[in-house]
Amino acid sequence: MLFHVRMDVNIPRDLPASEAAEIIAKEKAYSQALQESGKWRHIWRIAGQYANYSLFDVKDNAELHELLTGLPLFRFMKIEVTPLLRHPSSIRTDDT
């Protein structure tokens, strides 16, 4: 299943810089591993914001929930999820 996910990050200003840097490094490694696996198909930064739009390709809602809650920055995020279906007028054959 494909999911469009918006993630807005709000790291508290009083979080020590070293702790924030460590969490951000873990986040990058985790997200890149998911991208390499094909589960996190695309990620785009939203200009001027600490936010992104992403496209996930996972088995079901439960798998997406597991991946999102596993994000090291999850506790600092507001996340909006939209399930996607292939449009019947699409000429693309490589999207499910």
Q: Where are the domains of the chain?
A: 2-84
pLDDT of residue 2 exceeding 80, the answer is yes
- Assigned token pair, 60: 């079901």
pLDDT tens-digit readout, 27-63:
999 999 999 999 999 999 999 999 999 999 999 999 9
The CATH number that domain 2-84 falls under is 3.30.70.1060
Which pLDDT score, from 0 to 100, does residue 57 have? 96
| 83 beta partners | 3
Average pLDDT value for residue range 9-36: 98
pLDDT of residue 18 exceeding 70, the answer is yes
Which pLDDT score, from 0 to 100, does residue 96 have? 63
Residue 6's SS3 state is strand
Strand order in the sheet with 40-45: 40-45, 51-57, 2-9, 77-84
